[in-house]
Structure 1
Amino acid sequence: MDAPKLNNKITLAGFLITLCGSILFSTKAIIVKMAFNAIHIDALTLLTLRMVFSLPFYLVAAFITSNQKGNTKMNSRQWMYVIILGLFGYYLSSLFDFIGLQYISAGLERLILFLYPTFAVLINVYFFKQKMSGGQKVALLLTYIGIAIAYYGELHIDTSNPNFYLGSFLVFVCAVTYSIYIAGSGKIIPYIGSAKFTAYAMLAATAGIFVHFTITGNIQTLHSGAGLWYYGLLLAIVATVIPSFFVSNGLKRIGANNVAIISAIGPVSTIIQAHYFLGEKIFTEQIIGTALVIAGVLLTSWKRPPKIAAAR
């Protein structure tokens, strides 16, 4: 069976869906930091609670997508890919991310995490032999420079924190593992569909998190009070379930490279939210870096009618 043709063209629907998903994903760091500040909770417990509330949605989605007319049954190799990608994308990366957020600001977390589009594009280019357009190269360059400038400014604010570099490293590892998920999912989604992939990948990640919590977690912390459950519910619905389906649908519509670059809006969204909800400072380097990131997003989303018409 020939591989389905991958869609790498920007469409308005694909751009808006991916944009909304990226902004909702960016609320995760804000909610996690708010939870750490409001209640005494460890990263693993908060992550476990996030998946407890998410689980019913993905079970229903898995059931519906698997019983739809024209459903393509996954072979053993596809099952393996879905499970591995799920573990990389929403178990390992989330775990590293939540732990790292204990030590660094939400704005810095998102800036470091945004290195993942670079990794995802490079994985597509060197492992999947997918060509990178000139526009994508320029957009990546702009966004990478923007992130570098903003990160440089952050270094002068939070270096007194003894765990600053540990937190930065953990979030960097999160970016690496998440890029594997993004690049790999862009290849398997054309075979099995975005909703089905998301549902089963998240179920695999949930299983990994539950096993981890069963072995090393403290179940008594789940009785910390209503506040903990409130933050867990916010993480599940606003920052996990809805954006995960949005981004996977975006992957189907416009391809992994474009999704990776459009997700540049994530750091911008997080920085603004962190300022208003967490009181984090916005500084000159952040503003300059943010402007470059926005330029990269606009360049990626720019529609070129003559080329699209010719392709049809």
Structure 2
Amino acid sequence: MPPVLLLALATLFWAGNFTVGEHAVRTVDPLSLTWLRWVLAALPLLVVAHLVERPDWRGVARRWPALLALGIAGMAGYPMLLYASLERTSAVSSSVINAINPAVMVVMAVLVGQARAGRRTWAGLALGLLGVLLVLSRGDLSTLLALRLNSGDLIMLVAVVVWSTYTLGSQRIGLPALSATALQVVAAAVVLAPFALTAGVQLPRDSSTWAALAYIVVFPSIGAYLCWNHAVPRVSPGTAGTSMNLVTVFVMLLAALLGRPPTPVQLLGAALVVGGVLLATPRRPPQGGRARHTSPGVAA
């Protein structure tokens, strides 16, 4: 399958997580949904990683402190924040805010000395932030001045920072991509288990929510990572990074198909965020070789 099509499939699967997740959190709390997602996806991911990458599991497991920390941040913290956001705001708004992730990562890399930023980067960040503020305020500046902001949108902003931190950390781990992801999923499932079981796991109450959970387990959790990690070594980093903008586009298309088309403010905010990300994200030449741990700039 052409790598560009694989990238499109991965972003479509992640976009579906916003739309389907918005339905699932009506009856399943974010902690339960995140734990069930990874408990059910852990074994299939381990099997897929073994078949695709044939890793030295003992060597990979020696990096358990880093894998544990990354699992807590990226596989436990981020999804719970995402689902908590979807309890309080729309999938479209969450996805637009989430789309600024690549620009935030560039700025964080600059702050920790991993990258340099020029005028183009800062201009892109400013443009992206303008788009986010537009979505946060619903187009009404007085909302920002009065701090009358939607809690779900604010939670999504925290999720963006968590995912950006996770991604910067994952770039240093130097392990096969799927294998590292699978072990992080296992770590997240283990860490969340006592909290989920103590609080009481909420199971889906109807067939549509069971179907939503099945989708979340199969497509965003397994299929998307498989497509992404198979495509990334075959395209330039610029192509892979740019493709992540499709997540917001697909979320908007899915919302429209479900009879909830995005508002003009959301469309304008998305355009500003995507434009800002394209401006702020540096273009790097293609890199050959086997993929190590590569996290998407925007995830779900």
Tell me, in whole angstroms, the C-alpha distance in 1 between the residues paired with 2:127 and 2:229: 25
1:289 to 249, 261, 269: 269
Q: What secondary structure does 2:171 align onto? A: helix
- Shift of residue 94 of structure 1? 0.8
Structure 2 gaps of 5+ residues are 287-300
Q: What secondary structure does 1:282 align onto? A: coil
- TM-score norm. by structure 1 comes to 0.72
Q: Does 2:260 match 1:280?
A: yes
1:91 paired residue number: 76
2:19 to 30, 48, 62: 30
- Taking the TM superposition and a 5 Å limit, the aligned residue runs for 1:1-312 are 13=3, 17-36=6-25, 40-64=27-51, 67-68=54-55, 73-74=59-60, 76=62, 78-131=63-116, 142-153=127-138, 165-188=150-173, 191-218=174-201, 221-222=202-203, 224-248=205-229, 262-277=243-258, 279-293=259-273, 295=275
1:252-293 deviations in Å (ceiling 9; x for gaps) = 66798875554233222212222222x334232333333445
1:179-204 deviations in Å (ceiling 9; x for gaps) = 1122222222xx22212111112221
Q: How many residue pairs get matched? A: 281
- The structure with the largest helix share of the pair is 1
- Closer, same or farther: CA 118–297 of 1 in aligned 2, 3 Å: closer
- Closer, same or farther: CA 242–216 of 1 in aligned 2, 3 Å: same
Q: Is contact 2:101-2:163 (8 Å) kept?
A: yes
Q: Percent identity?
A: 19
Tell me, in whole angstroms, the C-alpha distance in 2 between the residues paired with 1:151 and 1:258: 29
Cα-Cα RMSD: 3.8
Q: Tell me which amino acid in the other structure corresponds to 2:150.
A: Y
Q: Tell me which amino acid in the other structure corresponds to 2:11.
A: S
Further displaced range: 265-274 or 22-31:
265-274
- Closer, same or farther: CA 30–126 of 1 in aligned 2, 3 Å: same
Structure 1 gaps of 5+ residues are 1-11
Tell me, in whole angstroms, the C-alpha distance in 1 between the residues paired with 2:184 and 2:208: 28
- Shift of residue 151 of structure 1? 4.3
- TM-score norm. by structure 2 comes to 0.75
- Closer, same or farther: CA 230–301 of 1 in aligned 2, 3 Å: same
1:8 paired residue number: none
Q: What secondary structure does 1:280 align onto? A: coil
Q: What secondary structure does 1:102 align onto? A: helix
Tell me, in whole angstroms, the C-alpha distance in 1 between the residues paired with 2:256 and 2:140: 17
Q: What secondary structure does 2:89 align onto? A: coil
- Shift of residue 228 of structure 1? 3.1
1:9 paired residue number: none
